[in-house]
């Protein structure tokens, strides 16, 4: 389990959520997202967010923040690029309005 101090060190991280196409503060993610949902991107390798972040907890109980930031950047780059390809396909098939309706972060742009 992540300690309070470890969670606090994640406050500056922004994690891409493809269900909303928004970047959420890692500390604001619902616990069911952190602990139960796995990600299939090359950085996460089918691990949960919690498992990925715990990989950067040091033996002393701190957080290897530099490498954790790099990991999050890789995750965000892959997931946002993947979502961009999906939106391109929806645009080509003239279903972009449906795509925007399905994404919480885009509904205000309809």
Distance CA 35, CA 47 (A): 9
Q: Judge if pTM exceeds 0.85.
A: no
pLDDT at res. 5: 54
Local confidence pLDDT in tens for the 110 residues of the chain = 555 555 555 667 788 888 888 888 877 888 888 888 888 899 999 998 888 888 888 888 778 888 888 998 999 999 999 999 999 998 899 998 898 899 888 888 88
Distance CA 74, CA 49 (A): 13
Distance CA 40, CA 52 (A): 12
pLDDT at res. 3: 57
Distance CA 86, CA 96 (A): 10
């Amino acid at each position: 389990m992540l300690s309070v101090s470890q969670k606090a060190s994640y406050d500056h991280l922004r994690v891409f959520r493809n269900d909303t196409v928004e970047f959420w503060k890692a500390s604001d993610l619902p616990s069911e997202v952190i602990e139960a949902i796995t990600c299939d991107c090359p950085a996460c390798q089918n691990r949960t967010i919690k498992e990925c972040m715990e990989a950067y907890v040091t033996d002393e109980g701190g957080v290897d923040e530099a490498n954790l930031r790099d990991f999050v950047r890789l995750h965000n780059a892959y997931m946002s690029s993947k979502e961009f390809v999906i939106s391109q396909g929806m645009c080509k098939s003239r279903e972009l309005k449906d795509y925007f309706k399905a994404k919480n972060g885009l509904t205000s742009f309809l």
